[in-house]
């Protein structure tokens, strides 16, 4: 069964890692997907691989005008947007003493402001289609403490999700947040975070790091009509880590 048959989706950070996993599953389940990312070569290669139902567009998620272009191009290619997955993000593993103002503003723009811009930009398109689903990828650090900057922005995504869900429910637009734990993606092997993540993974009750596909399955559910009565909620996929 094609669980997203007829759906048009924008997935940010879709060129690699967890985003690419979402893209592949959405295409498999019948969606038409605009892969939006700053990584042109990888994004275009993925679109070429997946065929006519996948297209790539370059997106700087921190720029409102760029978001408007992405929505317009998605409508032109596929029709009104039904699904937005705000997946783009960066991590930073510095102490508050080591974090510069520039560092802080950069992670704020990419992890937090981009989610606001993405949600705002798709509302007119989703209204044309009488509703839709927005899935904001937060983190377990949107539920519990972690590194400065990263934790702050992921808590903010959680809050924005609830505020937007309340504001958009009357349009038939649902908004939920997903809170992954330790997932096997390029982001967790960055030089400034890989050692901390490796140590952290030892404490996962399920005894392992998750595969990106395990997050994608949850994102798929929230993007489909199967989750039609879920909005303003947090969905955790962490192997039991925050249950301790």
Concerning whether 150 is annotated as a catalytic residue, the answer is yes
Beta bridge partners of 134: 84, 175
* Alpha-carbon gap, residue 17 to 192, rounded angstroms: 18
Beta bridge partners of 27: none
How wide is the angle at C-alpha 70 spanned by C-alphas 66 and 187, nearest 5°?
A: 80
Note whether 89 and 109 are within 8 A (CB): no
Q: Of 191, 152, 205, 216, which is closest to residue 18 (Cα–Cα)? A: 216
Which residues are CB-neighbours of 231 under 8 A, at least 6 positions away? 165, 169, 174, 175, 176
List 104, 150, 203, 229, catalytic entry: 150
* Alpha-carbon gap, residue 158 to 87, rounded angstroms: 13
Q: Of 5, 1, 64, which is closest to residue 31 (Cα–Cα)? A: 5
Catalytic positions, please?
A: 150
């Amino acid at each position: 069964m094609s669980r997203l048959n007829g759906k048009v989706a924008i997935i940010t950070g879709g060129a690699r890692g967890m985003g690419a996993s979402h893209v592949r599953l959405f295409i498999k389940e019948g969606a038409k997907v605009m892969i939006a990312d700053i990584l042109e070569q990888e994004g275009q290669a993925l679109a070429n691989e997946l065929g006519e139902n996948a297209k790539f567009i370059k997106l700087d998620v921190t720029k409102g005008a760029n978001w408007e272009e992405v929505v317009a191009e998605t409508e032109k290619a596929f029709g009104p947007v039904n699904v937005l997955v705000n997946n783009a993000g960066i991590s930073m593993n510095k102490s508050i003493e080591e974090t510069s103002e520039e560092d802080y503003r950069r992670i704020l723009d990419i992890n937090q402001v981009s989610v606001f811009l993405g949600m705002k930009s798709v509302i007119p398109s989703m209204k044309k289609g009488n509703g839709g689903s927005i899935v904001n990828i937060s983190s377990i650090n949107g539920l519990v403490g972690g590194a400065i900057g990263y934790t702050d922005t992921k808590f903010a995504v959680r809050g924005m999700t609830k505020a937007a869900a309340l504001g958009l429910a009357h349009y038939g637009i649902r908004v939920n947040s997903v809170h992954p734990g330790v997932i096997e993606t390029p982001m967790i092997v960055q030089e400034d975070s890989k050692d901390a993540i490796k140590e952290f993974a030892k404490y996962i009750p399920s005894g392992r790091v998750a595969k990106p596909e395990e997050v994608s399955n949850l994102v798929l559910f929230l993007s489909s009509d199967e989750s039609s009565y879920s909005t303003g909620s947090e969905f955790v996929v962490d192997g039991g880590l925050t249950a301790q």
